[in-house]
Amino acid sequence: MLGTPSVPALLPVYAQLPLVPVSGRGSLLFDGDGNAWLDAYGGHAVAATGHSHPAVVRAISEQAAQLLFYSTALPHPVREALAADLVQRCPQPLSSVFFCNSGAEANENALHLARKQTGRSRIVALEGSFHGRTAATQAVTWGEKFAATARRAGLPLGRMVPFDDLAALQAAIDDQIAAVIVEPVQGMAGARACSVEFLTAARRLCDERGALLIFDEVQCGVGRTGHFTAAESFGVTPDFITLAKGLASGLPIGAMITTASIAATVHTGDLGSTFGGGPVPCAAARATLRVIEDERLLENVRRVSALLCEGALALGPQAIRAVQGRGLLLGLRLARPAADVQKALFARRILTGTAADPSVLRLLPPLSFTTDQASQLLSALAEVLA
Ligand SMILES: Cc1ncc(COP(=O)(O)O)c(C=O)c1O
């Protein structure tokens, strides 16, 4: 007999909300009955320009019609143009890009190059971090479940330091450490922003002790903090920035950007990916960058973020104890379980996210979330938390 009908065809690895979206526009999703849902989750920070932005869809269909794919065995102008676009938006001396397909892969390649460059093997990571689901990225992700996977694979575990703890970081970086990997704003932990002091000290300590600094901006990059890179938002320049999620507004892409001096040590065959830098995701990413610029989405992020932070705090400490994060990666620290509030908002057709911290409701809407939509979300929160 072919097939096993009694077993679900998809591995049941995801907790899912009961909504089947059939279309989307901006920060709205539409179900099969034509109901509109306000999306303050953005498909996990991916819908940077909003759902199915016409300029992104056009770029994808034009590129697909022209040439769907050719591998990196041949140069392609859109890949080269996107690399130049990214470098132009990154602080110097970040100057060279490697394209892959996901955030985990971008981090995996940064870890690999950091080890190769320094000749060291250990990595320092932060408690609360999430860096991906490959074995090497799980080794630097916080939590026993991830550490167990890495141990089974025989990989060196990250040396974990408490979040934003400068003294612990100072003690952890010794001459075995190849790199420190940090999310400037931790996503899964509940939109927790590192302090500028911590990141500045991390830069100095890495320089002093011969280690490299990796900013995992998979969730907090591509404009989410109100600057194109979190590095710029915090005023600290790492040796590697990794991007994915919102970069192509929904097509799979990852990018690792590094300095000219590290790039000078990379040779043919050191890194690779069949699909990485394919013309269609690159065209989608170029269109995403253009939309961010043309629609002044960085300014919008700052404006809407301020409104959300102010409005959330105005609900009072009996409802919202604190607001954390930056830009449109915000965590509302609630006085009651975030999962209950998420459910109550869902009943009002509003999508939000939870976090590893059960008291934090996470907001990661499209960068084009409007002030009206922010007000709608705040009104619903006021009702739910009353
Ligand atoms: C900060 C961060 N790094 C890495 C990843 C992994 O990205 P991907 O799922 O594209 O591999 C994620 C995904 O949520 C993330 O939030």
The per-residue pLDDT for range 212-238, each reduced to its tens digit, is 999 999 999 999 999 999 999 999 999
Q: Quote the pLDDT of residue 39.
A: 98
Minimum-distance ligand 1 atom for the alpha carbon of 186: 1
Q: Quote the pLDDT of residue 158.
A: 95
**Side chain identity, residue 122:** R
Verify whether ligand 1 is closer than 6 Å to residue 238 (CB atom): no
CA of 188 to the centre of ligand 1 (A): 9
CA of 107 to the centre of ligand 1 (A): 9
CA of 157 to the centre of ligand 1 (A): 18
CA of 379 to the centre of ligand 1 (A): 31
Q: Which residues have CB under 8 Å from 232's CB, separation 6+? A: 91
Mean of pLDDT values over 20-24: 98
Minimum-distance ligand 1 atom for the alpha carbon of 104: 11
**Side chain identity, residue 363:** L
Verify whether ligand 1 is closer than 6 Å to residue 53 (CB atom): no
**Burial (Cβ within 10 Å: 0-12, 13-18, ≥19) of residue 145:** exposed
Q: Quote the pLDDT of residue 357.
A: 97
Kindly state the greatest CA–CA separation across the chain. Answer: 64
Average pLDDT in the chain: 97
Encoded tokens for 210: 């011969």
CA of 218 to the centre of ligand 1 (A): 6
Verify whether ligand 1 is closer than 6 Å to residue 132 (CB atom): yes
CA of 133 to the centre of ligand 1 (A): 8
Mean of pLDDT values over 137-150: 97
Share of the chain above pLDDT 70, in %: 100
Alpha-carbon distance of 121 to 177, in angstroms, equals 6
Minimum-distance ligand 1 atom for the alpha carbon of 102: 10
Alpha-carbon distance of 225 to 222, in angstroms, equals 8
Verify whether ligand 1 is closer than 6 Å to residue 234 (CB atom): no
Minimum-distance ligand 1 atom for the alpha carbon of 244: 10
Q: Quote the pLDDT of residue 1.
A: 74
Per-residue pLDDT tens for 4-17? 778 889 999 999 99
Verify whether ligand 1 is closer than 6 Å to residue 130 (CB atom): yes
> Is residue 98 within 8 Å of residue 267, measured between CB atoms?
no
Minimum-distance ligand 1 atom for the alpha carbon of 245: 10
Ligand 1, from 46, 131, 224, 326: best to mutate by most atoms within 8 Å of Cβ? 131
**Side chain identity, residue 183:** E
SS3 297: helix
Share of the chain above pLDDT 90, in %: 98
Mean of pLDDT values over 70-95: 97
Domains of the chain, each with CATH number or no CATH: 21-52+296-385 (3.90.1150.10), 55-294 (3.40.640.10)
- Give the per-residue SS3 of 127-191: CCCCCCCCHHHHCCCCCHHHHHHHHHCCCCCCEEECCCCHHHHHHHCCCCEEEEEECCEECCCCC
Minimum-distance ligand 1 atom for the alpha carbon of 183: 1
Ligand 1, from 194, 245, 362: best to mutate by most atoms within 8 Å of Cβ? 245
Q: Quote the pLDDT of residue 225.
A: 98
Q: Is the dihedral of CA 256, 97, 86, 90 positive or negative?
A: positive
Q: Quote the pLDDT of residue 60.
A: 98
Q: Quote the pLDDT of residue 212.
A: 98
Q: Quote the pLDDT of residue 138.
A: 97
Verify whether ligand 1 is closer than 6 Å to residue 128 (CB atom): no
Encoded tokens for 343: 């459910």
What residue owns the CA closest to ligand 1's atom 4?
131
Residue 275 has φ and ψ, to the nearest 5°, of -90, -15
Minimum-distance ligand 1 atom for the alpha carbon of 220: 1
Verify whether ligand 1 is closer than 6 Å to residue 219 (CB atom): yes
Alpha helices in the chain (DSSP H): 42-45, 54-66, 77-89, 103-118, 135-138, 144-152, 166-172, 196-209, 230-234, 260-263, 279-294, 297-313, 338-347, 371-385
CA of 4 to the centre of ligand 1 (A): 32
**CA distances (Å), 229 to each of 180, 201, 293, 351, in order?**
18, 19, 14, 25
CA of 115 to the centre of ligand 1 (A): 21
Per-residue pLDDT tens for 328-386? 999 999 999 999 999 999 999 999 999 999 999 999 999 999 999 999 999 999 999 99
Q: Is the pLDDT of residue 174 over 80?
A: yes
CA of 106 to the centre of ligand 1 (A): 9
Q: Quote the pLDDT of residue 5.
A: 73
Q: Is the pLDDT of residue 95 over 80?
A: yes
